[in-house]
C-alpha cells in the first residue's frame, strides 16, 4: 500500500518540475514509510511512496516499461491485486517477461498487453496512474468499490492527481478555494460527500469502478464495473452456502502478504467471522487480532443508538474461541486530544473526529505490535442490511437522516436560507436514486431495499472507506476489506430483502452462513457501532474548545458558520452527557472546519 501523486502538463514541464513532484511526494510519506521515488520527463512527473507488502526487495516505483525510445509506459500504483499470480501466469503465456515478483509489475504488464481494458481482469483494491509517453496519454483508474482513493484536478492545461488532496495543493499553481458547492458538500450531507466530487474548488475524485483517459484535447471516463440487477432464485440454504463460499474466497485471497497479517476484531458478527476464517487459513503463525477500549472510569458506551455496549469483552470471547493472539488498545482522553490535530492533517478536510482519533490510535497500536496488514469488516452492513436505517420508514431523502442529521442549520443565514443549500442533499439523493439498478419484478420491499443499499454504498461506505484508508495509512498499516470484494457485493446485491433479513434479524443470511464458526451469542449479537471517542472528559474538552472559538470573533469558521447556532448547542449540551451524539459531532465538526481553514489558509468565496 502506498501513496501516489503526479502531474502532466500538455505544454511541457517547467525546469523545476522534478523539485515540485518531489515536494508533492513528501506530503504522502506517511502512506509509504519504506521508500519513495520520483520520475520526470518532458511532459509528466510521477511520485510514489511505498509501504512494502509484496516482494519487499523489489517493486520500487514509479515503475517503467519500454522496449524502445519514446515507447515507454510509467506507472505509479497504490493497492493490492489479490489475483496477481494468476494474471502473471496468463501474461507470461502471452510472452511477457517479468523482472520482479510484485503485483506492481503485473499491473504495468497487463496495461501494456490489454490497455485500459486490463482493469476488467483485476481483483483487488487499487488506484493507479499510467503515462504513455508515445501517445501523450494519462490514465487514472480506481477499484470497483473505491477502497483506494484517487483525486485529480484538470484545468485544461495540466492534470494533477494524488492519493490525497494535500499532495495536489503543494503544486505552485493550485490554491485552496472553498466556493458555494464546497460549502454545500461540507455541511449539507456531513460526513458524506458526492463520490465524484471533493470539497475544494476544481478538485474531483475518480469514481469507483471507473478508468479515465486524459489527453491534450480532453478526457474520457469509462465505467468498467457497476452493480447489476439480476434475478435471484436460490433458497435460504443455497444462498447462505454461496455467501460463505464467496466470503471465504475473498478472505483467502486477502491474506496474501510477505509481512505479518492480523484482523480487526470487535466481537461483532462481521469482524468475528473474518477473524475465524483468517485464523483457519493464515500460515504465518497465530493470527493477531485487535480491538480498542477506553481507560476505566471515564466512559459512556450507551451514548447513542449506534453504540450499544463495549466491544472488548466480546472480542476477548471470540479470540479465546478461535485461538488468536489478541491485543486491546487502551486509550484515554489525553491520547484522544493529542491525536486530533494529526488526524485532521491526515484526512485533509473536516470530518467527524470523535470517530477518527480513536481509529487512528488503534491502527498505530497495530503497527507498534509488528503487524502491517489487517482485515476488517467494512462493507458487511452495506451488503447484508445491517444498519438500523434499512428499516426506516422515511418516505423521502436519505434513510439515515435521523442518525446523521443535516448541518445546514449551522450555516450563516445567507447560506442556510438559500434554496441551493436547503435542497442540496435532496438533489444529490434524487441524482443517485435515478441510477439504482432494479428489476421490473422487484417487490416493493426489494425496491426499497435496493434504494437504501445503493445510497449506503454510494455515500456512507465511501465515507467509511476513506476513513479507514486515511487512518490506517497514517499509521503505516494496510487495511483490507474482504466484504468489499466485487463478486461478493454483486451476489449480495440481488439477494432479496426477505433473505437478507432471514429470521427477522439484520444480516440474517450472513449470520446463517457463518453460524458454525462462532459462539451462538456472538453470531446473534446485536449490532453495536465502532466505539468512538466517548469519554466524558473528551466531550467536555470539545465544548470548552467551542467556547474558546466563540470568544474569537475573527475565527475563520465564522465566514461560513453562524456563531449563534454554536452558542445554542453549547448552551443546551455543554454538560456533555452526550445522550444525543448529534450535538457532539456538530461541535467537533465546527472546530475541525475552523482548524482546517486556518491550517490550509483556505480562501472562502
**Which of the residues are catalytic?**
2
* Angle, CA of 68, 71 and 72, to the nearest 5°: 100
Entry field: residues in the chain? 605
Return the closest-CA partner of residue 513 out of 230, 246, 229, 231: 246
- With beta carbons less than 8 A apart as the criterion, state whether 333 and 536 touch: no
Checking DSSP bridges between strand 177-178 and strand 325-331, what pairing results, if any?
A: unpaired
Q: Is 411 helix (H, G, I), strand (E, B) or coil?
A: strand
* Angle, CA of 466, 171 and 48, to the nearest 5°: 55
Q: Please report where in the chains the cell 475473498 appears, as a residue.
A: 250
Q: Is 62 helix (H, G, I), strand (E, B) or coil?
A: coil
- Dihedral pair phi/psi, residue 325, rounded to 5°: -95, 100
Q: Is 505 helix (H, G, I), strand (E, B) or coil?
A: coil
Return the closest-CA partner of residue 462 out of 201, 78, 142, 29: 142
Chain centroid to CA 515: 28
Q: Please report where in the chains the cell 484515554 appears, as a residue.
A: 332
In what helix (H) or strand (E) does residue 499 lie, and over which residues does it extend? helix 497-500
292 labelled as ligand-binding?
yes
Chain centroid to CA 403: 20
168 labelled as ligand-binding?
no
Beta-ladder partners of 154: 159
Q: Please report where in the chains the cell 484538470 appears, as a residue.
A: 154
Binding site as annotated, residues: 103, 292
Amino acid at each position: 500500500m502506498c501513496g501516489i501523486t503526479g502531474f502532466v502538463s500538455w505544454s511541457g514541464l517547467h525546469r523545476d518540475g522534478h523539485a515540485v513532484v518531489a515536494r508533492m511526494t513528501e506530503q504522502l510519506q506517511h502512506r509509504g514509510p519504506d521508500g519513495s521515488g520520483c520520475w520526470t520527463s518532458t511532459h509528466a512527473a510521477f511520485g510514489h511512496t511505498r509501504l512494502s507488502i509484496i516482494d519487499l526487495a523489489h517493486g520500487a516505483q514509479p515503475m517503467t516499461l519500454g522496449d524502445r525510445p519514446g515507447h515507454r509506459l510509467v506507472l505509479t500504483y497504490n493497492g493490492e491485486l489479490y489475483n496477481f499470480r494468476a494474471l502473471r501466469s496468463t501474461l507470461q503465456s502471452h510472452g511477457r517477461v517479468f523482472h520482479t515478483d510484485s503485483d506492481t509489475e503485473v499491473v504495468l504488464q497487463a496495461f501494456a498487453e490489454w490497455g485500459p481494458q486490463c482493469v476488467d481482469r483485476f481483483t483487488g483494491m487499487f488506484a493507479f496512474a499510467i503515462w504513455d509517453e508515445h501517445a501523450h496519454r494519462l490514465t487514472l483508474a480506481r477499484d470497483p468499490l473505491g477502497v483506494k482513493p484517487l483525486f485529480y484536478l484538470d484545468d485544461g492545461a495540466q492534470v494533477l492527481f494524488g492519493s490525497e488532496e494535500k499532495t495536489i495543493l503543494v503544486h505552485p499553481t493550485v490554491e485552496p478555494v472553498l466556493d458555494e458547492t464546497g460549502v454545500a458538500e461540507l455541511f449539507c450531507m456531513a460526513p458524506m460527500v458526492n463520490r465524484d466530487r471533493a470539497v475544494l474548488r476544481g478538485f474531483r475524485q475518480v469514481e469507483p469502478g471507473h478508468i479515465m483517459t486524459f489527453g491534450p484535447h480532453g478526457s474520457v471516463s469509462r465505467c468498467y464495473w457497476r452493480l447489476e440487477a439480476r434475478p435471484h432464485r436460490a433458497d435460504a440454504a443455497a444462498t447462505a452456502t454461496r455467501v460463505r463460499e464467496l466470503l471465504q474466497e475473498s478472505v483467502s485471497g486477502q491474506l496474501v502478504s510477505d509481512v505479518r497479517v492480523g484482523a480487526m476484531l470487535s466481537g461483532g458478527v462481521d469482524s468475528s467471522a473474518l477473524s475465524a476464517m483468517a485464523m483457519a487459513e493464515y500460515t504465518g503463525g497465530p493470527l493477531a487480532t485487535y480491538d480498542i477500549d477506553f481507560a476505566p472510569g471515564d466512559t459512556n458506551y450507551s451514548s447513542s443508538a449506534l453504540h450499544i455496549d463495549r466491544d472488548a469483552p466480546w472480542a476477548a470471547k471470540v479470540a479465546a474461541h478461535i485461538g488468536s493472539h489478541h491485543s486491546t488498545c487502551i486509550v484515554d482522553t489525553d491520547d484522544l486530544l493529542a491525536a486530533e490535530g494529526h488526524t485532521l492533517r491526515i484526512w485533509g478536510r473536516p470530518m467527524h473526529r470523535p470517530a477518527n482519533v480513536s481509529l487512528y490510535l488503534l491502527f498505530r497500536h497495530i503497527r507498534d505490535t509488528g503487524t502491517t496488514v489487517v482485515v476488517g469488516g467494512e462493507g458487511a452492513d452495506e451488503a447484508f442490511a445491517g444498519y438500523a436505517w434499512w428499516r426506516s420508514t422515511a418516505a423521502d431523502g436519505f434513510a439515515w437522516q435521523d442518525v446523521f442529521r443535516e448541518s445546514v442549520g449551522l450555516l450563516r443565514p445567507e447560506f442556510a436560507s438559500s434554496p441551493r443549500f436547503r435542497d442540496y442533499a435532496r438533489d444529490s439523493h434524487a441524482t443517485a436514486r435515478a441510477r439504482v439498478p432494479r428489476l421490473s419484478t422487484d417487490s416493493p420491499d426489494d425496491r426499497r431495499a435496493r434504494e437504501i443499499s445503493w445510497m449506503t454504498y454510494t455515500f456512507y461506505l465511501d465515507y467509511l472507506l476513506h476513513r479507514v484508508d486515511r487512518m490506517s495509512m497514517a499509521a503505516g498499516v494496510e487495511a483490507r476489506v474482504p466484504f468489499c470484494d466485487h463478486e461478493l457485493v454483486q451476489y449480495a446485491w440481488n439477494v432479496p430483502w426477505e433473505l437478507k433479513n432471514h429470521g427477522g434479524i439484520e444480516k440474517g443470511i450472513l449470520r446463517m452462513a457463518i453460524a458454525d464458526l462462532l459462539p451462538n451469542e456472538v453470531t446473534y449479537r446485536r449490532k453495536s457501532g465502532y466505539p468512538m471517542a466517548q469519554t466524558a472528559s473528551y466531550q467536555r474538552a470539545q465544548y470548552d474548545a467551542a467556547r474558546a472559538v466563540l470568544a474569537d470573533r475573527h475565527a475563520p469558521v465564522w465566514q461560513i458558520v453562524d456563531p449563534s447556532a454554536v452558542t445554542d448547542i453549547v448552551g443546551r449540551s455543554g454538560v456533555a452527557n452526550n445522550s444525543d451524539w448529534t450535538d457532539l459531532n456538530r461541535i467537533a465538526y465546527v472546530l475541525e472546519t475552523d482548524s482546517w481553514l486556518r491550517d490550509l489558509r483556505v480562501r472562502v468565496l
